[in-house]
Amino acid sequence: MKQRNSTITKIVALAVLGTGAGHVSAQQARTTLSAQNFPQVGVVDERFQSYNIEMLEVTGGKFWKPYSDIHIPTPAPGAGDKPSTPPGMNPAMFAYRPPLDLSNTRLRNLASALAPAYVRTSGTWANNTYFDDADNAISQPPAGFSGVLTRQRWKALVEFSNTVNAPIITSFATSPGVRDSNGVWQPDQARRFLNYTQSIGGHIAAAEFMNEPNIASIGGAPKGYDAKAYGQDFKAFQTFARDVAPHMLVLGPGSVGENDAEWGMGNTGIPMIGTEALLQAAGSGVDRFSYHHYSGVSQRCAPAGQTTENAALSEEWLARTDVTFAFYRHLRDRFEPGKPIWLTETGDAACGGNPWASTFRDTFRYLDQLGRLAMQGVEVVAHNTLVASDYGLLDENTFAPKPNYWGALLWHRFMGTVVLDAGVERREGLHAYAQCLRGTAGGVALLIINNDEQHSSRIYLQQRSNRYTLASTATLSGKEVALNGVPLKLTTDDELPALTGAPTEAGALEFKPATITFLTVPEANNPACAQGAHNP
């Protein structure tokens, strides 16, 4: 009987079928799907799935205005205003937000449910933020800065970080206010910032020198800032960091959006310094190679758009993650060979996200991106943001979970740190990713994404599993999502609901159009997962 089952395994198809179809191609018939045999292809950080809380959310200031409050403006070069609108950006795109209430119980509980993670507190505004190391905070930023971070506000972030088990990733001020008369970066602000953080029990695990140096003009760098100036600054920062914070990982360069595609940020008209030139000037020596990626620029900054809502599940849109990664991986291999890669800021689109970033449509991109990058060796992915604007995992007014949060929660519950290869060729209607099942020796977790809005797909799985299928309760453009047909929402006591799987026997499994499914296979007996050493 054992020999017979082995033979069946070799000939049973991994059948990818349209609704009502029954044909299996010869290529598909050679493919098997047995969770026991998935080989290991990598290991990600235990804090792989992380998130951003922008520095501006901590200080309060002008951030991306809700779409409901604006007519999407045409960018006006040089139209930035003070105190907290990035230079060259149209002020009509921004609205004031008070500091985020980091002590909120719901916020902390929902963030804790994603732990362990990193919280990255940086962003464009961090480049221009003055740290006021005094008990009596100033009301206006000094010359050379556009925002103020008080002790009180930073302490709130540190307490949040410690409470939710999310050590901090950050960056430092690089605007004219931290430079001497020759324009050279000075570490005084950074030193006070690090010393205060340490004095209140904070843990800065890693830091980039500055946010997105390849678009330094938007980040408030001195006029004429170039690769040579960056190289000089970065070397000074590197020496400072090794001396003052030897246990802090130095990340870099933290560039954003470079690639050779038409939708790359290089085609937006924003002045850019090539990352290749930055790396040549700075030299080697980072602990982790970091970069940022957005699949486009949102409708706030590019009214014509770089994609449409109807294309948000398309193969081209989802594959944009790979395009940017390939660009930066090549630079990593040239200038920092062997260094781990971190994606420290990402979302569906820059400038606060597209209108559908807060709907179930974007959950396909969110989870597919995690699967793709884990397979390719990226160790950490920090989504922008946890709360603010359209791309936040949580509603910025109520902290209620958006669809992407429920996807993040399921990923956290099931996907361990050992990355496996399910052996499935990615195609429309079937994206399959596998990792060791978190906390279960020998177990495997599968993520199956059907991004086809019209047709079902099927696979043949050789083991029993527990099934967790996410689907919209109404339309893909809605903000409500159901798990195995039950709408997901917080309980009356503001607790997370039970995430209950449906027991499923071995055999053919169908995945309806536009659904996302996690399959847990606790009895897979996969040798790569046997010890559970990488599944905290």
DSSP 427-465: BTTBEEEEEEETT-TT-EEEEEEE--SS--EEEEESS-E
Superfamily for domain range 49-417: Glycosidases (3.20.20.80)
Radius of gyration for the alpha carbons in the chain, expressed in angstroms and rounded: 23
141 neighbors 130 (Cβ within 8 angstroms): yes
Closest CA to 207 of 169, 255, 245: 169
pLDDT at 77: 42
pLDDT at 307: 83
pLDDT at 74: 47
187 neighbors 240 (Cβ within 8 angstroms): yes
**182 contact partners, CB below 8 Å, separation of at least 6:** none
pLDDT at 532: 58
pLDDT at 270: 78
The mean pLDDT values, 10 residues at a time, for the chain of 536 residues are: 35 34 36 88 98 97 85 44 62 90 98 98 96 89 95 98 98 97 96 97 97 93 96 97 97 94 76 96 96 92 78 96 98 98 97 95 98 98 97 96 98 98 94 97 98 95 97 94 98 96 95 98 97 52
User: What is the Cα–Cα distance from 227 to 222, expressed in whole angstroms?
Assistant: 12
User: What is the Cα–Cα distance from 508 to 518, expressed in whole angstroms?
Assistant: 15
pTM of the full structure: 0.92
Tokens of 326: 């390939």
pLDDT at 263: 83
Q: What CATH code is assigned to 7-37+422-529?
A: 2.60.40
pLDDT at 84: 60
Ordered by start, the domain boundaries in the chain are 7-37+422-529, 49-417
